[in-house]
């Protein structure tokens, strides 16, 4: 894995290069970048989620660079061609906890010889890293764009007990539904999840095709709405890629929604040659690196360290961009509202884009870029 070259320029947009940056919090980090030719440009970091890569920003990087920025998208810890992380289920899980992931980004800023980043932009789980970057080091990360809601740091346990009565065991309640269910994040935290996906009968490429399709605006069942509460009956209103059937793996879940050959050929935002970049990388690395992030969340790894920031707000200029067909906006009831009302004190807008599902920066890059450039002009003025 460590002998691989950077991603070949032949599969990247003109003006984007791949390279490695060594010595970042124990990592040799693979990055894609543009706008590097001119010194003293403001830095923008683009942080991907699961199961994505730096490559997921391919259609955003060049337009931002053309607007005058040094744009950098890393393969984050556990992903792609970045090395130095532990892929063992029984290995170093704590290195994937949120503050260490934010430390990775702080180290990357320094290694790139920047004093600060004009903006950190995160999608999916990358939005959590971006939020923690700005929450902990607003002097370095000067503005924030979230492509998944961030509701703020966890409360102290004493405050949590005082504020709300005990809640049901959500997992027992989901399993006890007339149609027994389970939450995908806890499934992703099991030992079986990685072999389920890497050794799935349909193969990794077909699995990823169905997974990306199922969570996109191309799947007609994605018509999200706010949920009333963190209760089994409410969570079960979400599609099966979030609230799975109890006896199904994720490959089995998405296989039921595999698009037709005609639909695949018509998919402009993720044609087969671009999906092949993902399937080749995950075929080589497996999924465990990304799954470690979920295990930290579901297992409360170093939760006490995050509670040190209880009540702290994000005060840098902030923006939310999501797809109108993205259930991720509502998967944690109340998070979208708390992000705007209390977690971010300088929220400049919350946009939900027509014709986009979960993969908003891939499905609608032109609209996303326009929103980003407008925000960056104001936030960096």
Backbone phi, psi, residue 53, to 5°: -150, 175
Report the C-alpha gap between 105 and 102 in whole angstroms.
5
State the DSSP code for 320.
E
SS3 content of the chain, % helix, strand, coil (to 5): 40, 15, 45
Catalytically annotated residues: 124, 358
The 3-state secondary structure of 231-252, one letter per residue: CHHHHCCCCCCCEEECCCCHHH
Tokens at residue 35, please?
A: 């706008």
Contact 85, 287 (CB under 8 A): no
Q: Mark 258-281 as b/e (b = at least 16 C-beta within 10 Å).
A: bbeeeebeebebbeeebbebbbeb
Q: How many CB atoms lie within 10 A of CB 19?
A: 13
Report the C-alpha gap between 69 and 54 in whole angstroms.
17
Q: Is the peptide bond before 3 cis (omega within 30 degrees of 0)?
A: no
Report the C-alpha gap between 34 and 21 in whole angstroms.
15
**Cβ contacts of 300 within 8 Å, gap of 6 or more:** none
Report the C-alpha gap between 146 and 79 in whole angstroms.
20
Contact 378, 237 (CB under 8 A): no
Contact 10, 85 (CB under 8 A): no
């Amino acid at each position: 894995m460590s002998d691989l070259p950077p991603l070949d320029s032949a599969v990247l947009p003109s003006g984007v290069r791949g390279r490695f940056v060594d010595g970042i919090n124990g990592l040799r980090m693979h990055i894609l970048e543009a706008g590097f030719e001119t010194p003293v440009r403001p830095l923008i970091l683009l942080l991907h989620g699961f199961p994505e890569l730096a490559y997921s920003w391919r259609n955003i990087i060049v337009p931002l660079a053309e607007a005058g920025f040094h744009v950098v998208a890393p393969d984050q810890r556990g992903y792609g061609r970045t090395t130095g992380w532990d892929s063992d289920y029984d290995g170093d899980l704590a290195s994937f906890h949120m503050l260490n992931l934010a430390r990775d980004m702080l180290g990357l800023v320094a290694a790139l010889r920047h004093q600060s980043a004009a903006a950190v932009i995160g999608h999916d789980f990358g939005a959590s890293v971006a939020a923690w970057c700005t929450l902990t080091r607003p002097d370095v990360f000067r503005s924030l764009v979230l492509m998944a809601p961030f509701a703020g740091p966890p409360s102290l346990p004493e405050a949590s007990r005082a504020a709300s009565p005990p809640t049901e065991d959500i997992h027992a309640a989901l399993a006890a539904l007339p149609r027994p269910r389970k939450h995908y994040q806890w499934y992703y935290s099991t030992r079986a999840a990685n072999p389920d996906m890497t050794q799935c009968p349909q193969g990794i490429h077909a699995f990823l095709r169905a997974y990306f399709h199922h969570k996109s605006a191309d799947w007609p069942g994605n018509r999200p709405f706010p949920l009333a509460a963190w209760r089994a009956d409410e969570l079960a209103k979400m599609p099966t890629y979030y609230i799975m059937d109890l006896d199904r793996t994720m490959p089995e879940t998405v296989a039921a929604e595999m698009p037709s050959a005609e639909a695949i050929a018509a998919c402009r935002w993720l044609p087969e040659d671009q999906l092949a970049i993902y399937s080749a990388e995950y075929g080589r690395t497996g999924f465990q690196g990304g799954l470690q992030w979920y295990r930290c969340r579901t297992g409360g790894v170093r939760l006490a360290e995050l509670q040190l920031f209880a009540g702290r707000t994000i005060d840098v200029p902030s923006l939310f961009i999501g797809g109108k067909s993205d259930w991720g906006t509502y998967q944690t009831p109340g998070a979208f509202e708390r992000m705007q009302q209390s977690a971010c004190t300088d929220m400049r807008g919350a946009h939900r884009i027509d014709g986009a599902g979960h993969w908003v920066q891939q499905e609608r890059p032109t609209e996303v870029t326009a929103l980003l450039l407008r925000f960056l002009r104001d936030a960096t003025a």
